[in-house]
Structure 1
Amino acid sequence: MIQMIAADLAPELRERPWNTPGEMAQALDRGTIQTPALDVIDEHLAKVATGEIERFMCSMPPQEGKSLRISVWFVVWLLHRNPNLRVAIVCNGFELAQTFGEQIRDILRDHPELGLTLSKSTAKKHEFKLLGYKGGVVCVGIEGSLTGKPVDVLIIDDPYKDEKQADSKAWRQTVQRFWQSVALTRLAPGAPVVIVQTRWRKDDLSGWLRAEYPEEWTALNIAAQAIDSTKLPEDDPDYGKPDPLGREPGEFMESARRRTLRDWAKKMREVGSRVWIALYQGRPSPVEGGILKRDWWQRYDQPLWFEREDGARLVTGFDEVLMSWDMAFKDTEDSDYVVGQVWGRRGVDAYLLEQVRGRWDFVETCNQFEQLAARWPQALLKLVEDKANGTAVIASLRKRIAGIVPEEPHGSKEARASAVSPLVEAGNVYLPAPAIAPWVGGLIEECAGFPTATNDDQVDALSQGLNRLVLQPFLAGEIVDEDDLDDDLADFQISAY
Structure 2
Amino acid sequence: MIAREKAKRHLKDFLLYDGRGAWQDAKHLSLLCDKLEAVERGEIKRLMVFMPPRHGKSEIISKKFPAWFLGRNPEKEIIISSYSADLALDFSRIARNTLREHADSFNVNVARDSAAVGRWGLEGTRGGMMAAGVGGPVTGRGADIFLIDDPIKNLQDALSETIRKNTWDWYRSTALTRLAPGGAMVIVMTRWHEDDLAGRLLAAAKNGSGEKWDVIKMPAKAEADDLLGRPLGQWLWLDRFSIQEYEDRKNALGTFIHEALYQQNPGPAEGQIFKRTWWKFYKALPAAFDEIFISFDCAFKETSGSDFVAGQLWGVVGANFFLIERKKERLDFPGTVQALRSMAARYPLARRKLVEDKANGPAVISYMKSEIPGLIAVDPKGGKVVRAHAISPYVESGNVYLPDISIDPTIFDYIEEFAAFPNGAHDDEVDATSQALIHSKSDFKPWVGKINF
Query: The TM-score by the shorter chain falls in which range?
Result: 0.5 to 0.7
Q: Which amino acid aligns with 1:282?
A: Q
Deviations 1:218-244 (A, max 9, x none): 11111000123xxxxxxxxxxxxx201
Q: Does structure 1 residue 110 correspond to structure 2 residue 74?
A: no
Question: How is 1:80-95 mapped onto 2 (pairs within 5 angstroms)?
Answer: 80-95=71-86
- Pick from 11, 29, 34: which aligns with 2:25? 34
Name the residue aligned to 1:285.
Answer: 267
2:115 corresponding residue in structure 1: 123
List aligned pairs for 1:298-313, cutoff 5 A.
none
Unpaired segments ≥5 residues, structure 2: 276-382, 397-418, 428-453
**Distance in 1 between the 2:212 and 2:150 partners?**
20
Task: Rate the CA distance shift 1:159–1:270 in 2: closer, same or farther, 3 A.
Answer: same
The answer (yes or no) to whether the contact 2:71–2:99 under 8 Å persists in 1 is: no
Give the equivalent residue in structure 1 for 2:231. Answer: 248
Query: What is aligned with 1:484?
Result: none
| 2:105 aligned with 1:136 | no
Alpha carbons 2:111, 2:123 under 8 Å: kept: yes
Q: 1:131 & 1:181 partners in 2: Cα distance?
A: 31
1:412-491 equivalences under 5 Å are 459-460=423-424
Unaligned runs of at least 5 residues, structure 1: 1-10, 229-241, 294-410, 422-448, 465-497
* Paired letter, 1:104: A
Does the aligned pair in 1 maintain the 2:3–2:13 contact within 8 Å?
A: no
Instruction: Name the CA distance, whole Å, in 1 between partners of 2:264 and 2:194.
Output: 10
Question: Is 1:24 matched up with 2:6?
Answer: no
What is aligned with 2:245? 263
Query: How far off is 1:50 after superposition?
Result: 2.0
Q: Does 1:99 align with 2:90?
A: yes
Give the share of equivalent positions with the same residue, in percent.
Answer: 34
- Aligned pair partner of 2:214 in 199, 218, 230: 218
Q: Residue 195 of structure 1: CA displacement?
A: 0.3
- What's 1:201 paired with? 193
SS of residue in 2 equivalent to 1:68: helix
For 1:283, give the aligned amino acid.
N
CA distance in 1, matches of 2:263, 2:237: 14
Deviation, 1:110, is 1.9
Answer yes or no: is the 8 Å Cα contact 1:64–1:255 preserved in 2. Answer: no
- Secondary structure, counterpart of 1:226 in structure 2: coil
Give the aligned length.
297
User: Contact (CA 8 Å) 2:256, 2:273: kept in 1 or not?
Assistant: no
Q: Tell me the SS of whatever aligns to 1:201.
A: coil
Question: 2:169 aligns to what?
Answer: 177
Whether contact under 8 Å (1:22, 1:69) holds in the other structure is no
Distance 2:4 2:155 in 1: 45
Cα contact 1:19–1:46 (8 A) shared by 2: no
Give SS of 1:190's match: strand
Conservation of the 8 A alpha-carbon contact between 2:48 and 2:188: yes
Does structure 2 retain, via aligned residues, the 8 Å contact 1:285–1:450?
Answer: no
Question: 1:28–1:185: structure 2 CA closer, same or farther, 3 Å change rule?
Answer: same
Residue 186 (str. 1) matches residue 178 (str. 2): yes
Residue in 2 aligned with 1:348?
Answer: none
From 25, 36, 45, give the equivalent of 1:45: 36
1: CA distance, partners of 2:138 / 2:166: 15
Inter-CA distance 127–163: structure 2 relative to 1 (3 Å threshold): same
Q: CA deviation at 1:164?
A: 1.5
Aligned to 2:141: 149
**Structure 1 moving runs of 4+ over 6 Å:** 11-14
Q: Secondary structure, in 3 states, of the residue corresponding to 2:183?
A: coil
User: 242-251 or 13-22, which moves further after superposition?
Assistant: 13-22
User: Following the alignment from structure 1 to structure 2, what is the Cα–Cα distance between the partners of residues 244 and 259?
Assistant: 20
Structure 2 CA distance for aligned equivalents of residues 41 and 450 of structure 1: 40
Q: How large is the Cα RMSD of the aligned pairs?
A: 3.8
Task: Deviation per CA, 1:420-456: give whole Å up to 9, x if none.
Answer: x9xxxxxxxxxxxxxxxxxxxxxxxxxxx997xxxx7
Partners of 1:133 and 1:13 in 2: CA distance: 27
Mark the CA change 1:249 to 1:15 in structure 2 (over 3 Å): closer, same or farther: closer
After superposition, the C-alpha distances for 1:142-170 in whole angstroms (9 at most, x for unaligned) are 12211221111100001111222222222
Letter in 1 for 2:154: D
Separation of aligned partners in 1, 2:63 and 2:212:
24
- Classify 1:412/1:122 alpha carbon distance in 2 versus 1 (closer, same or farther; 3 Å): closer
